[in-house]
Amino acid sequence: MATTMAKALNTALADALAADDRVVVFGEDVGALGGVFRITDGLQARFGEKRCFDTPLAEAGIVGFAVGLAMSGLRPVVEMQFDAFAYPAFEQIASHVAKLRNRTRGKLSVPIVIRVPYAGGIGGVEHHCDSSEAYYAHTPGLKVVTPATVEDAYSLLREAIDDPDPVVFMEPKKLYFGSADAELPARTEPFGRAVVRRAGRDATLVAYGPAVPVALEAAEAAREEGWDLEVVDVRTIVPFDDATITASVRRTGRCVVIQEAPGFAGVGAEIAARVQERCFHALHAPVLRVAGLDIPYPAPMLEHTHLPGVDRVLDAVARLQWDDQPDARWAAA
């Protein structure tokens, strides 16, 4: 049945609320309005104001409140309205959410899900399109998850709510309303598993979240150029699945990592380093990255220049030293 990622997330929240009285959903505008993206639509009407409620407009307060609720035994799921609006909560996330289990040698855990609508491609104005995943992935103690398919959106969110550890759940905004055939409730691969979305022999495209559809489209377009590309969806940045990605690159011998966030010191840089460390003798070319530019997220009319698109991915694939010649871009240096 055709359904959207937004509907899958909404269904996952409803099913989690129905399955476990300890689950509470809160944030800004998540009650009567149903969230600015309608992900919590109808939850307050169905489960009551005690289970799904609006809070004061204060992100550090929302996450800190969730810490206290989790300490009392509840399972808070909070919504940060937009990626960049989560920054006021960063101290609570980095200093407490991520560290309480370790600080107390496992005596105290805070199984919180922090939902973050993230990334661009929707014509959003400033502060509404940041790709903030690297901040969280760089913080030990957090799990960082980002679905790219409708079924994963449902399954990963249910798993996040059941997980004993805090999860930053990054929702690619531009994929919210794309429709796909999916049966809900769906259960897909668990945390820590990357998935081969498209099998191919010549090179591996590694992507996550909003970059996965770009990778799949690029792989389709590459057929015309005679390249048979494999696409791996990372799904859970933390915990990271080295095994699936390593196995794919060892098969293909070439790898391009794609992310929407600025490339410098990003998650893609970490993936490229890990692939290079593990696959050096299987590689026929350096691991390349296709990423957003190292600029603050641009104004809507300029975002297409920033976002990694199919052409940029194909350009990178073309530079994978098919004729065993050094990359011309670096030759002069």
Partner 1 sequence: MTTTPQAVRRASPRARRTVTPPDPARPLLPDAEPVRLLDPTGTPLPARTDYPEPPVEALRELYRRMVLGRRFDTQATALTKQGRLAVYPSSRGQEACQVAAVLAVRDTDWMFPTYRESMALVARGIDPVEVLTLLRGDWHCGYDPTAVHTAPQCTPLATQCVHAAGLAHGEAYQGRDTVALAFIGDGATSEGDFHEGINFAAVFKAPVVYFVQNNRYAISVPLSRQTAAPSLAYKGVGYGVPSEQVDGNDPVAVLAVLTRAVAHARAGKGPFLVEAHTYRMEPHTNADDASRYRDGAEVDAWRDRDPLARLETYLRARGVLDDAAVAEVADQAEAYAADLRARMNTQPTVDPLSLFDHVYAEPTPQLVEQRELVRAELAAAHDEEGDA
Which residues are bridge partners to 25 per DSSP?
52, 77
Does the footprint of partner 1 cover residue 273 (CB under 8 A)? no
Distance CA 315, CA 313 (A): 5
Reading the block at residue 242, the tokens are 């080295």
- Among 16, 66, 148, 285, interactor with partner 1 by CB under 8 A: 66
Token representation of residue 320: 């994978």
Asked if 62 and 55 count as a contact pair (C-beta separation under 8 A), the reply is yes
Is position 164 an interface residue for partner 1 (rule: CB under 8 A)?
A: yes
In the shown chain, the binding pattern of residues 101 to 140 toward partner 1, with x for contact by CB under 8 A and - for none, equals xxxxxxxxx------------------------------x
Q: Closest distance between partner 1 and the C-beta of residue 306, in Å?
A: 31
Q: Out of 6, 24, 116, 232, point to the residue binding partner 1 (CB under 8 A).
A: 24
- Name the segment binding partner 1 (CB under 8 A); options: 39-47, 96-104, 246-254, 308-316: 96-104
Distance of closest approach, residue 146 Cβ to partner 1, in angstroms: 16
Handedness of CA 320, 323, 329, 331 (dihedral sign): positive
Cβ density class 56-89: b for 16+ within 10 Å, e for less: eeebeebbbbbbebbeeebbbbbbbbbbbbbbeb
Q: By rule CB under 8 A, what string of x and - marks binding of each residue 214-253 to partner 1? A: ------------------------xxxxxx----------
Minimum distance between the CB of residue 21 and partner 1, rounded to whole angstroms? 9
In this chain, which of 15, 29, 36, 65 binds partner 1, going by CB under 8 A? 65
Helical ranges in the chain per DSSP H: 5-19, 43-47, 59-71, 90-91, 100-103, 133-137, 150-162, 211-225, 242-252, 267-279, 303-306, 310-318, 328-331
Nearest to 157 by CA among 318, 315, 331, 25: 25
Residue 64: which residues within 8 A CB-CB, separation 6 or more?
89, 92, 96
On whether the CB atoms of residues 144 and 165 are closer than 8 A, the answer is no
CA distance 118 to 89: 15
| Angle at alpha carbon of residue 324, lines to 320 and 330, rounded to 5° | 60
- Output the smallest distance, CB 198 to partner 1, in A: 24
60 binding partner 1? (CB under 8 A): yes
Residue from 55, 149, 248, 259 binding partner 1 (CB under 8 A): 55
How is residue 301 annotated by DSSP? Answer: G
Q: CB of 84: closest distance to partner 1 in angstroms? A: 17
Kindly tell me which residue out of 4, 15, 38, 64 binds partner 1, with binding defined by CB under 8 A: 64
Residue 107 or 329 having the CB closest to partner 1: 107
Q: Per CB under 8 A, does 276 bind partner 1?
A: no
**How many CB atoms sit inside 10 A of residue 188's CB?**
16
- The verdict on 277 binding partner 1 (CB under 8 A) reads no
35: left (phi over 0), alpha (psi -120 to 50) or beta: left
User: Is 96 a residue of the active site?
Assistant: no
Q: Which residue in the set 69, 134, 232, 257 belongs to the binding site for partner 1 (CB under 8 A)?
A: 69
Single out the catalytic residue among 96, 127, 128, 304: 128
Which amino acid appears at position 11 of this protein? T
CB under 8 A: which stretch of 32-40, 48-56, 122-130, 249-257 binds partner 1?
Answer: 48-56
Considering beta carbons, is residue 28 or 41 the nearer one to partner 1? 28
Report in angstroms how near the CB of residue 158 gets to partner 1 at its nearest: 17
Q: Which parts of this chain interact with partner 1 (CB under 8 A)?
A: 24, 50, 55-56, 58, 60-61, 63-74, 76, 88, 91-92, 95-96, 99-109, 140-141, 143, 164-165, 192, 238-243
Residues labelled as active-site residues: 128
